[in-house]
Amino acid sequence: SQKIEQNSEALNIQEGKTATLTCNYTNYSPAYLQWYRQDPGRGPVFLLLIRENEKEKRKERLKVTFDTTLKQSLFHITASQPADSATYLCALRYNTNAGKSTFGDGTTLTVKP
Amino acid sequence: NAGVTQTPKFRILKIGQSMTLQCTQDMNHNYMYWYRQDPGMGLKLIYYSVGAGITDKGEVPNGYNVSRSTTEDFPLRLELAAPSQTSVYFCAGRDSGNTIYFGEGSWLTVV
């Protein structure tokens, strides 16, 4: 079965620095890879989606890369702010899976002022 | 639009009791999902539906049941609650652009 690993449970960085979160997967590449943000006590909120034929996607201070050779996605937050502190989840979706997504366990990012 | 709405927000059940978690959406999603999330863990798929009248099992369906009589509603039924079902439950819907919209979650404790 598909296994997803997000780099570490927790990541602490200083305000203004770039946060880089990693999502690695086994087996075959998904059609889509998504990143979500989850705040304590809330449901996940969609941030970005990248398709298997795309190398990079950007949205404001967020950037996602997708390397199907390495079976890895990197999620970058530039000029990080304390308000970026949250848990970030990556999710894989395959075309054959009736729209089901498989989620990683998440990385909790803390941005210190 | 309210999006995906779940009720109740919090519930305490005794072992062996049954209950239904309600989920309704006003975004006309065909695809709907129920996930559970244990502390510090990712989301595990319980059941999903690709449209009214069609449901199927996810990764962890044991002890649960669903129905999808309308596009809007996708209730999750817990029969004979067990402590292992203590978790946070999220209902979600997916749009045609592959974005998943989650509800705010239902915190369930089985004692």
Q: How far is the C-alpha of B14 from the C-alpha of B12, rounded, in Å?
A: 7
* pLDDT-based confidence at residue A1 (cuts at 50, 70, 90): low
> Residue B97: pLDDT band by 50, 70, 90 thresholds?
confident
Q: How far is A89 from chain B (nearest CA, A)?
A: 8
Distance between CA atoms of B32 and A48, rounded to whole angstroms? 20
Return the higher-pLDDT residue of B57 and B2.
B57
Closest residue in chain A to residue B96, using alpha carbons only? A99
Residue with tokens 């502190």: A85
pLDDT, tens digit, 9 for 90 and up, residues B48-83: 999 999 999 999 999 999 999 999 999 999 999 999
* Residues A66, A50, A76, A7, CA torsion sign: negative
Residue A18 in this model has a pLDDT that exceeds 90: yes
Write out the residues of chain B at the interface with chain A, using a CB-CB cutoff of 8 A.
4, 31, 33, 35, 40-45, 48, 50, 56, 58, 90, 92, 94, 97-105
pLDDT tops 80 at residue A81: yes
Question: What is the predicted pLDDT for the residue at A98?
Answer: 66
What distance in Å separates the CA atoms of residue A103 and residue A3, rounded to the nearest whole number? 9
Contact B50 A104 (CB under 8 A): no
Q: Which two tokens stand for residue A75?
A: 């999620």
User: Is residue A67 pLDDT above 70, yes or no?
Assistant: yes
Distance from CA of A18 to the nearest CA of B (A): 24
What pLDDT sits at residue A29?
78
Chain A nearest-CA residue for B48: A100
What is the residue whose two structure tokens read 């974005």? B99
The pLDDT value given to residue A96 = 64
Nearest CA-CA distance, residue A97 and chain B, Å = 10
pLDDT at B12: 97
Please tell me the distance in Å from A104's CA to the nearest CA on chain B. Answer: 5
Q: Which of B31, B42, B94 sits opposite A103 (nearest CB)?
A: B42
Neighbours of B78 (CB within 10 A): 20
Question: Which residue in the set A32, A43, A105 is minimally distant from B103, CB to CB?
Answer: A43
Q: What is the per-residue pLDDT for A97?
A: 58
Share the mean pLDDT of chain B. Answer: 94
pLDDT for A9 equals 75
Query: Which secondary structure element, helix H or strand E, spans residue B5, and what is its range?
Result: strand B4-7
Over residues A52-69, mean pLDDT:
94
Q: Report the residue of chain A nearest B29, measured CA to CA.
A: A99
User: Of B25, B43, B40, nearest to B89 (Cα)?
Assistant: B43
Residue among A9, A43, A99 minimizing CB distance to B94 = A99
B15 pLDDT tier (thresholds 50, 70, 90) = very high
Q: What percent of chain B has pLDDT over 70?
A: 98
Q: What is the mean pLDDT of residues B83-98?
A: 92
User: What is the pLDDT, as a whole number, of residue A40?
Assistant: 92
